Structure formats: C-alpha cells, structure tokens
Amino acid sequence: MKVLIVGSGGREHAIAWKVSQSSKVDKIYCAPGNAGIEEYAECVDIGAMEFDELLAFAKEKEIDLTVIGMDDPLVGGVVDVFEAAGMRVFGPRKNAAFLEGSKAFSKDLMKKYNIPTAAYENFDDPDKAIAYLEKAEFPLVLKADGLALGKGVLICNTLEEAREGVKAIMLDKQFGDAGTQMVVEEFMTGREVSVLSYVDGKTIKTMTSAQDHKRALDGDQGLNTGGMGTFSPSPFYTEEVDEFCKKYVYQATVDAMAAEGREFKGIIFFGLMLTEKGPKVLEYNARFGDPEAQVVLPRMKNDIVEVFEACIDGTLDQIDLQFEDNAAVCVVLASEGYPVAYDKGLVISGLDAFKEKDGYYAFHAGTKKTDKGIVTNGGRVIGITAKGADLKEARANAYDAVKWVDFANKYCRNDIGKAIDEA
Ligand code: AMP
Ligand code: GLY
C-alpha cells in the first residue's frame, strides 16, 4: 500500500513512524513533512491547505490511503475533496470536523444532547457580550469560536480583563475570523485529561489516556502553547471516570453527531476536566493531539493502518484496540521565546543517539534538513519521548534523553509529569 500523510509536526512524525510499522505499507509520502519524517517517508513540498495539489499528487502516485494529521485542512474540507475524487482518506468530513472548527457549535451540541460541559453563552455581538459580562461573576473564560492554534482561550479574573478580551477576540480580531463568534464559559478547576478515540461513524474505541502541559513555563506559568509535554496514561483517569465518560460522553458525542447529519469518521480528541462534580468536556478536537500522539502511539499495539481502514469502512467494532501495559513521557524541546518570538536555523546535534534505541524517540516538529545538517525551523522543535515500566521510569528516561540533543536556544519545561508524584 502507498500512504500519504498530510502535516508537518511532531504528531505527523509519530503517525508516520507508526504507519511505517504496518506490514501493509510499502511506501509513505508526507506533505509537507519535516526532517524527521524523511526517515520513513518521501516528503513532498505541498502545503496542507493546497487541496488541489494534494489531490493531484495522490492521484499521480496512486495513493491507497491519505491520512490527515492537522486540524486546518480537516476543518477546511480536504476529506470532502478527496472523497469526491473517489480516494480513500482518513479523517472527518468538513461538516463533522466542525466539532473542532466551531466551539459555539460544539457547546450547543453538548447542551442539546446532555453531554456534561461548563455552562456557557455564545455571542456574535461584542456589545451583547459586554452587557452579559457586566452582570457576570468572575473568573470566566472567553473563547474565540474558530481555530486559533490553541491560543484563542482567555481566562479572565475581572470585568476589566474580560472587556479587553472581547476587544482582542471580536473587535481587533487577534485570532482572525475565529473571533467572529465567541463563547463565554464558566471557569472550571480540576485535572485535565486528553482521551483520543477512533470513530467509524457509529462505533467509538478510546485509546489510552494522556495529559498535556499547555503553558510555556514551569509550574504552569506563562502563555498557552500548542503543548510542552505529555504523559500517558494519566493516573487520574480512573476506571470510575472511564465508566462515567463511556456512559455520558463518548458514544453520546458520536450519536449526537450522527443525529445532526454530521457522521463523524476519524479521531475525536476529548479534552476533559475532572471537576469535583464529575468529568466535563473542555473541548473537542477532530484529530490526534500534538504532543498527545507522541505518547499514545508508541504504546499502541495494533497495526494503525488496519484501524484507519476500519474507521473508513465502518468496521471498527471488529477491532480489538490494545495498548502496552507501560507508560510514556514526551518532553518538547522548544526554541527559547516560543510561543512569541524565537530564532530559527540553529543546528541540532545529538539526534543519532536515538537510532536503534528501543523505547526512545525523537519526534521532529519544527526541523529542516540543510547543507549544515538538521536545523531548527519552528517554535516546538523536537518531542523527546521515552517509555518506561511506569510513569516515573518513563519520565526519568525522557529527561535523560533530553540531554542527548542540543541546539543554541534549546528550551524545555523541567516539570513535565510532575503531577505523577501527586497521584
Ligand atoms: P481549549 O482550547 O478549549 O481546550 O482551552 C485551552 C485550555 O484553556 C484548556 O486546556 C484549559 O487549560 C483552559 N480552559 C479552557 N476552558 C476552560 C474552562 N472552562 N475552565 C478552566 N480552564 C479552561
Ligand atoms: N495538545 C493539544 C492539542 O493538540 O490540541
């Protein structure tokens, strides 16, 4: 089989690595890819939003399966373009990817189908939003409706902050058209857990749990980022939580989407908050998490291509999804200054140490091959993943491997997985 993967981050590197383990696959392409993905795939210089070029390439190379890693092309309808041309593609159609593409839609869906989530109001008029906020109690959360690279969420402690937030999102359009609508949401406290799942339109199979670290600095300080590190499984995702979510969240979401005429095939990523009043959905994503994929996929036992095909064919009920009984930790090596301003083009050393080393992975995100060698090419540069018999061992292994790699402005959080000690 020939597989095309669309995307260029650490998540797509993890997907490419996992696809390369499949006995069904002879050749992998990735558009546009990165320096790490090149180890398993032929990278082609087509952007993830260039749908016509992607389709023409897939046809020319007679690709058997295209896997979309990123949210933007999914929300933009790349799956519809491929399906209309008779190509097999893994991911939700545009009308289903809307689950991630519009927070206002996802909140209304949860309300209509009684899926537990924070109380909220949607606004498309900034004056009405302000009038509502003037009577509200703080803290509150403001969310730009559309895609905003994980940055369109503002936690406001005072009315003054909320006024500035409304201005930033709806008037100054800091997140572009994502801010045409805005959700105002109740502030929740608790542990966050990411549960990723495979969905075939009717059946849902959840993967092992993970926890992300969204803030840039140690102690959950600094700005929100795409994610600075993950561990899997989450010790806080107990059987009781799992049972609750199976009963009220997972299948309910799949059924709700089907009932709305938005059949969902692909990955649903449930961002959960474990509150005192039980688990609640913080957000949905319509794709693998980044860096959740980097800890979940190395622990997955199944041939991922078989699972992707079962999702497309509607036969996921026949798949016995299995994960290793161990743990994994991913520490993201970023460029100092991320997520604001940072240098690129700095030479990366030490990557050879990962070759032939079982249970250790360097999943590239912002990297590029040049005559000088592999250089940094983004804010999040490489995710260092290590497995271990348990979370503590995996964490020690990951921080050990962090030392093998170097570049001039290398920065990472030193407390990824600290929560493990509180479990
Ligand atoms: P989201 O993109 O909706 O997942 O939001 C990004 C991050 O903001 C989440 O991972 C949480 O850490 C935080 N967040 C979002 N919504 C809430 C909420 N209602 N209460 C508290 N924190 C939140
Ligand atoms: N790590 C969170 C996300 O991928 O959205």
Q: pLDDT value at position 109?
A: 98
Among the bound ligands, name the one nearest to the CA of residue 150. 1
Among the bound ligands, name the one nearest to the CA of residue 286. 2
Q: pLDDT value at position 356?
A: 81
Q: By CB neighbour count within 10 A (0-12 exposed, 13-18 middle, 19+ buried), where does 340 fall?
A: exposed
Q: What share of the chain has pLDDT > 90, as a percent? A: 98
**Residue listed under structure tokens 């109001």:** 121
How far apart (Å, rounded) are the C-alpha atoms in residues 306 and 310?
6
Among the bound ligands, name the one nearest to the CA of residue 152. 1
How far apart (Å, rounded) are the C-alpha atoms in residues 178 and 51?
21
User: Pocket of ligand 1, candidates 71, 122, 141: which has the most ligand atoms within 8 Å of its Cβ, to mutate?
Assistant: 141
Q: What share of the chain has pLDDT > 70, as a percent? A: 100
Ligand 2 contact, 289 CB (< 6 A): yes
Is the pLDDT confidence value at 165 over 90?
Answer: yes
Radius of gyration of the chain (CA): 21
**What band does 358 get if pLDDT is binned at 50, 70 and 90?**
very high
Among the bound ligands, name the one nearest to the CA of residue 147. 1
Tens digits of residue pLDDT in 23-70? 999 999 999 999 999 999 999 999 999 999 999 999 999 999 999 999
**What band does 149 get if pLDDT is binned at 50, 70 and 90?**
confident
User: Pocket of ligand 2, candidates 11, 75, 212: which has the most ligand atoms within 8 Å of its Cβ, to mutate?
Assistant: 212
Q: pLDDT value at position 251?
A: 98
User: Pocket of ligand 1, candidates 145, 153, 215, 272: which has the most ligand atoms within 8 Å of its Cβ, to mutate?
Assistant: 153
Ligand 2 contact, 152 CB (< 6 A): no
Token pair recorded at residue 116:
């537990």
User: Pocket of ligand 2, candidates 13, 194, 288: which has the most ligand atoms within 8 Å of its Cβ, to mutate?
Assistant: 194
- Closest by alpha carbon to 69, among 20, 12, 29, 149? 12
Q: pLDDT value at position 147?
A: 95
Ligand 2 atom closest to 291 (CA): 1
Is the pLDDT confidence value at 150 over 80?
Answer: no
Q: What's the 155 CA to ligand 1 centre distance in angstroms?
A: 8
Predicted TM-score (pTM) of the model is: 0.97
**What band does 361 get if pLDDT is binned at 50, 70 and 90?**
very high
Task: Give the residue-averaged pLDDT of 254-281.
Answer: 98
Q: pLDDT value at position 12?
A: 98
**What band does 297 get if pLDDT is binned at 50, 70 and 90?**
very high
Q: What's the 282 CA to ligand 1 centre distance in angstroms?
A: 6
Round the average pLDDT of the chain to a whole number and report it. 97
Protein residue with least CA distance to atom 4, ligand 2: 289
> DSSP per residue over 169-226, as a string?
IIIS-TTGGGGSSEEEEE---SEEEEEEEEEESS-EEE---BEE--EEEGGGEEEE-S
**What band does 352 get if pLDDT is binned at 50, 70 and 90?**
very high
Is the pLDDT confidence value at 151 over 90?
Answer: no
Task: Give the residue-averaged pLDDT of 115-132.
Answer: 97
Task: Give the residue-averaged pLDDT of 174-193.
Answer: 96
How far apart (Å, rounded) are the C-alpha atoms in residues 34 and 102?
29
**What band does 296 get if pLDDT is binned at 50, 70 and 90?**
very high
Protein residue with least CA distance to atom 2, ligand 2: 289
Tens digits of residue pLDDT in 238-250? 999 999 999 999 9
